[in-house]
A and B are shown apart, each in its own frame.
Chain A
């Protein structure tokens, strides 16, 4: 690990001001992704700004009837909140399908959204990787890419976003609240939060350097049956091959978001109109234009069949 200086801040304003002073700095929250990557010198910040004790650790009701989830709320606490369990069951289900009990006790809402890909070549510093080292190439294209993206990828990068939580947030129409160094606040719909890899896969979100996530808001509950089905190589403590998150209403209408297929949680609202007629049409719409390799082509039928299973389960 490269050495770094460390400071703990006690307000969002102090956090962004610290970044303005030290532009090579990074925020650290739970540390479960950042430290992992720093040990491998994939991330090499010169300064760490510890935001883990900011008072952004509450889940509050919003005036619109939804919830505002503080950026520092731990994954365990978010999954356990009585309102989340009752009204946003998909979110609890997605959270508890991710990582381990130990990791969820540390992982934060903001850190989870910003966790980086699990592409093995991103982790292996001996390999070319445009995300880790822009312009070096992509070892996954033509390499082992069973875990990689089937939609939204580019010639520069075919990595997936590994978060389970983000899939639920996407289906629930979450928005990400931030504040920048000038003190300017904004809310970014999760649909617009992640950047397509294009030619610049190292740029992953629309956040500006030093922009701090303060909260994630959920609109008022939409009811329905919430199911998160994660398909993985072992029954627990493994990243998704694919994941299907649904909210299905009594009349068969609803929402679907996928994990493990692209650089962001994947949702195509227009495809959802086909939901009352079953999985096929929806899967076709979601995966339109998919580009597969011989190693990850299995993801297309797996999505459709998992969705079919989940819809049958929702009918009860």
Chain B
């Protein structure tokens, strides 16, 4: 990933290189300079203000910036990971206004006024969230790359069950869903673990939920 400063630098580099190469050839195709001009126009930006882990943040961003890139590249909260950048892996899961979402498939500028919680906001190394603690106790990871997303997702999943949100495996739509391993597995399916730590992840979540194994 490039930061906006790196982007500026590389673009200047490209333009300078272009001018130099033009100087060495005798026949300059007419229109080359004009054709290059629009590319130099800086891309549109927009301002956005939101709260991340309880702190107010204001940014002016290239409109294309995903919430994930805003967190990682601009706010340097690198706990949230980029796996696929296409909604297919869950590594980028964060909690926005109490709901888990894939931060890679949403624009930062669409989050005006929102309250965002990342793995850094759930707990700290000396004061871990119960879910972070349980992942450590149960060895709910190997390489750890998917872990921040797994933990944010797991915290939200327990809230979703509490709120009565049904899942694909909820047998009776008229009844409140229960905290079972089958429910947790289905609800956690949006978080892929390339290392296959799934069974320990489920143990960690059931531990926090107070479910017997």
Q: In the assembly, what is the distance between CA of A105 and CA of B90, in Å?
A: 13
- Per the CB 8 Å criterion, the residue count for chain A at the interface is 36
Which A-B residue pairs are the 6 nearest by beta carbons?
A100-B190, A236-B189, A3-B43, A237-B189, A85-B173, A6-B63
B86 touches A36 (CB 8 A): yes
Shortest Cβ distance from B157 into A: residue: A101
8 Å CB interface, A223-273 against B: 235-237
Shortest Cβ distance from B190 into A: residue: A100
**Stretch with Cβ within 8 A of B (4 or more), from A89-97, A195-203, A209-217, A275-283:** A89-97
A31 touches B110 (CB 8 A): yes
B105 touches A106 (CB 8 A): yes
Point out the residue from B66, B99, B157, B168 that lies within 8 Å of A97, measured CB to CB.
B168
Q: In the assembly, what is the distance between CA of A109 and CA of B36, in Å?
A: 42
Point out the residue from B44, B85, B100 that lies within 8 Å of A102, measured CB to CB.
B100
Point out the residue from A4, A96, A103, A105 that lies within 8 Å of B44, measured CB to CB.
A4
B62 touches A76 (CB 8 A): no
Q: Is B59 an interface residue (CB 8 A)?
A: no
B102 touches A39 (CB 8 A): no
Instruction: Give the Cβ gap from A134 to chain B, nearest Cβ, in Å.
Output: 25
Contacts of A28 in B (CB 8 A): 107, 110
Q: In the assembly, what is the distance between CA of A86 and CA of B168, in Å?
A: 16
A80 touches B106 (CB 8 A): no
Residue-wise interface mask of B (162-187) relative to A, using a CB-CB cutoff of 8 A (1 in contact, 0 not): 01111110100110000000000111
Which bucket holds chain B's interface residue count?
35 or more
A86 touches B189 (CB 8 A): no
Contacts of B106 in A (CB 8 A): 30-32, 35, 106
Q: Is B83 an interface residue (CB 8 A)?
A: no
Q: In the assembly, what is the distance between CA of A17 and CA of B152, in Å?
A: 39
Point out the residue from B44, B85, B105, B160 that lies within 8 Å of A101, measured CB to CB.
B160
Q: Is B109 an interface residue (CB 8 A)?
A: yes
21 sample A-B contacts, Cβ–Cβ < 8 Å, listed by A number: A3-B63, A6-B109, A28-B107, A28-B110, A32-B102, A35-B106, A35-B107, A36-B87, A39-B86, A48-B63, A85-B166, A93-B168, A100-B87, A102-B90, A102-B190, A103-B87, A105-B99, A106-B101, A106-B102, A236-B185, A237-B189
Instruction: Give the Cβ gap from B155 to chain A, nearest Cβ, in Å.
Output: 12
A80 touches B87 (CB 8 A): no
Q: Is A5 an interface residue (CB 8 A)?
A: yes
Point out the residue from B93, B105, B156, B165 that lies within 8 Å of A35, measured CB to CB.
B105
8 Å CB interface, B58-79 against A: 62-64, 66
Tell whether A236 pairs with B173 under 8 Å between CB atoms, given A80-B164, A96-B168: no
Contacts of B102 in A (CB 8 A): 32, 102-103, 106
Residue-wise interface mask of A (9-32) relative to B, using a CB-CB cutoff of 8 A (1 in contact, 0 not): 000000000000000000010111
A6 touches B153 (CB 8 A): no
Q: Is A8 an interface residue (CB 8 A)?
A: yes
Contacts of A284 in B (CB 8 A): none
Residue-wise interface mask of B (94-105) relative to A, using a CB-CB cutoff of 8 A (1 in contact, 0 not): 000001111001
Point out the residue from A52, A80, A103, A235 that lies within 8 Å of B190, measured CB to CB.
A103
Q: Is B46 an interface residue (CB 8 A)?
A: yes
Q: Is B8 an interface residue (CB 8 A)?
A: no
A101 touches B63 (CB 8 A): no
Contacts of A100 in B (CB 8 A): 87, 90, 189-191
Shortest Cβ distance from A123 into B: residue: B86
Contacts of A97 in B (CB 8 A): 168
Q: Is A79 an interface residue (CB 8 A)?
A: yes
Q: In the assembly, what is the distance between CA of A32 and CA of B101, in Å?
A: 10
A35 touches B66 (CB 8 A): yes
Instruction: Give the Cβ gap from A204 to chain B, nearest Cβ, in Å.
Output: 21
Instruction: Give the Cβ gap from B184 to chain A, nearest Cβ, in Å.
Output: 11
A89 touches B173 (CB 8 A): yes
Contacts of B190 in A (CB 8 A): 99-103, 237
Q: In the assembly, what is the distance between CA of A237 and CA of B88, in Å?
A: 9
A6 touches B168 (CB 8 A): no
A31 touches B168 (CB 8 A): no
B110 touches A52 (CB 8 A): yes
Contacts of A35 in B (CB 8 A): 66, 105-107
Q: Is A185 an interface residue (CB 8 A)?
A: no
Contacts of A99 in B (CB 8 A): 190
Residue-wise interface mask of A (59-91) relative to B, using a CB-CB cutoff of 8 A (1 in contact, 0 not): 000000000000000001001100001100100
Shortest Cβ distance from B97 into A: residue: A105
Contacts of B107 in A (CB 8 A): 6, 28, 31, 35, 48
Contacts of A93 in B (CB 8 A): 168, 173
B166 touches A79 (CB 8 A): yes
Contacts of B157 in A (CB 8 A): 101
Shortest Cβ distance from B189 into A: residue: A236
A6 touches B87 (CB 8 A): no
Instruction: Give the Cβ gap from B133 to chain A, nearest Cβ, in Å.
Output: 23
Tell whether A236 pairs with B186 under 8 Å between CB atoms, given A3-B43, A31-B105, A80-B166: yes
